[in-house]
Structure 1
Amino acid sequence: MVHSLVVGIAGGSASGKTTITTRLRTAVEQSGRTVDVLASDPYMYHDVDRGPTFVSPTTGEVTFDCNRPESVDWLAFLRDLGTRTSDVAAPDVLLVEGLMILHVAAVRERLDLRLFVELDADERALRRLLRDMKEPRGLREPEVIANYYRESARIGHALYIEPSRQYADIIVRGDAPPDRVQPLLLAMIDRLLGEHSAREPST
């Protein structure tokens, strides 16, 4: 049975993970390989009854904290990761994207290639502000977005996300020109696919 090559793409909120994942997916497809994406965001609990919370110093309200590892249903994520990579229709490459995928050991150990997307904190904060004001995320007021960044996102990044860069095989800038990053990543994937295929038992 052929198993997918699993490429993990981690990094802070608004660092450029999704953009790099999307571009890399297109590049892999254009190289003639099959590729799919598994993101951790859909596995997030999104409510105060099931996920971690904190009391906002600004409002005094109990708020869902999406910047802690316990905010994601990792058991379900790992189950689907196993299915997606070993199914008869498994793609050649599975791109796994998420804030904490290098922090969580059970996920990290499943990755054949580990990427960390870095970007300066002020740029991430600005990107997050602009993004959340445009998207229907429930955080459209600048003051609300800024408070959540200070009280949750910044802290979670320092505690869990930034330290996980030590596990990365390669660190890329979230604002790097695509024509500099994509060829390098595609070459690494091609090399690993060759090694991956050589290790697969013949049927």
Structure 2
Amino acid sequence: MNNKPYIIGIAGGSGSGKTFFLKCFLEHFSADEVCLVSQDDYYIPVAHRMTAEENKHYNFDLPRTIDFDHFYQDIVSLINNEVVYKDEYTFNNPSATSKTLEIKPAPILIVEGLFILHFKDIAEKLNLRIFLETDEEVALKRRLKRDLEERGYSNDDVLYKWYNHVVPAYKEYLLPYRESCDKIVVNNTQIADDIIRITDEISAELRHNLFGE
């Protein structure tokens, strides 16, 4: 691949449906056509030096919790047609075994995460910015379902983080960039067809513009 990739930034707060949106979007492309870099894999590990109680109150929703230098360098490497190897982040669970991710360069590079528009050096490289927007009460329900069922947090822990960490971070580090985005996707429904339709439209447009299809 001699040309630089077309870089898509997908930003959304917790509970905005980024995971499902990405799943639907990626189904339109082969592994040779698209690669993904997720901000979540660049959290600075802290579990080994905190008690369980400290871990509960640690604020992950701040830019400084991300290893920005590593995050940015891996994006640059992919732009320069270099393969990236990265340990998968295990969401601060010291008992979990992470796997090594192999990210191969491709004509389309997707960068996703909460702070990607706040990180100026990354934002400037994006060719297309997609903002996933969800009403706060809908996003909270999704967050509760995920953290209670998948990560074993208590209801009180989730609500504490939501009101003290998640919402303030969204309003400070993401919402101000909403109007600078090329596409705003409102995702308040549990109906999969809505997101599937939107990703169909965006993918068809990209395939036409990038691959002449």
TM-score (norm 1): 0.80
Matched, 1:22 2:18: no
Q: What 5-or-longer segments of structure 1 have no aligned partner?
A: 51-58, 196-203
Q: What does residue 189 of structure 1 align with?
A: 206
Matched, 1:10 2:11: yes
C-alpha deviation, 1:76, in angstroms: 0.6
Counterpart amino acid of residue 117 in structure 1: L
Between the aligned partners of 2:55 and 2:199, the Cα distance in structure 1 is 43
Deviation per CA, 1:51-94, whole angstroms, max 9, x where unpaired?
A: xxxxxxxx999932111111211111110001112216621111
Is contact 2:12–2:132 with CA below 8 Å preserved after alignment? yes
Counterpart amino acid of residue 154 in structure 1: V
Number of matched pairs: 183
Matched, 1:107 2:101: no
Is contact 1:48–1:63 with CA below 8 Å preserved after alignment? no
Matched, 1:72 2:87: no
SS in 1 for 2:156: helix
Between the aligned partners of 2:178 and 2:7, the Cα distance in structure 1 is 17
Q: What 5-or-longer segments of structure 2 have no aligned partner?
A: 83-103
Q: Aligned match of 1:119 in 96, 116, 134?
A: 134
Deviates more, 1:61-70 or 1:34-43: 61-70
Between the aligned partners of 2:187 and 2:32, the Cα distance in structure 1 is 24
Counterpart amino acid of residue 22 in structure 2: T
Q: Aligned match of 1:172 in 160, 165, 185?
A: 185
The runs of at least 4 aligned residues of structure 1 exceeding 6 Å deviation read 59-62
Deviates more, 1:87-96 or 1:97-106: 87-96
Counterpart amino acid of residue 63 in structure 2: P
Counterpart amino acid of residue 180 in structure 1: R
Map 1:27-38 to 2 at 5 A: 27-29=28-30, 34-38=33-37
Between the aligned partners of 2:183 and 2:55, the Cα distance in structure 1 is 39
Q: 1:26 to 1:126 in 2, by over 3 A?
A: same
TM-score (norm 2): 0.77
